[in-house]
A = this chain, B = another copy of it.
């Protein structure tokens, strides 16, 4: 089980970035997204619509207090992984993460409090350069899933694409 925790969502400014975080989480095999910050029905609905159309059982939930949420998951035995540009190098570190255990991946942004770094078992960086939490999450899930994210069978899908070099085909 892999839960993604998105911190400090702001419904106006972050709408598209948080939606991308949610969709990447689903497409790359996470179980669910928990987000904190501003509660946002539009974000929740856009994720739910994708699940309905494209299948699977991905969930989105809101957390009022992300520190509480991290502590709760830690108590439940989840490994806590925090994505930060200051963190340890992904490819050198991922082998130390037991990906058969339950994981909580914390996707921050600016102004992440000290406590998140301290509560995390792994502070992980993807290139140590400024870029995108969406890309960081995708690469992390890719390494944890070892490329198996490309073979997920999304149950109960209304739409399923047939890969093609130039047209839009469905099964």
- Chain A residues engaging chain B, CB cutoff 8 angstroms: 13, 16-17, 20, 23-24, 26-28, 50, 54, 85-91, 117-118, 120, 122-123, 125-132, 134-135, 137-139, 142, 147, 149-150, 152, 154, 160-161, 163-169
Interface of A is mostly: mixed
23 A-B pairs (CB sep. < 8 Å): A20-B131, A20-B134, A20-B135, A23-B129, A23-B130, A24-B132, A27-B130, A28-B135, A54-B130, A86-B167, A86-B168, A88-B165, A89-B150, A89-B163, A117-B167, A118-B166, A123-B165, A126-B150, A128-B160, A128-B161, A132-B138, A134-B138, A138-B139
- Chain copies in complex: 2
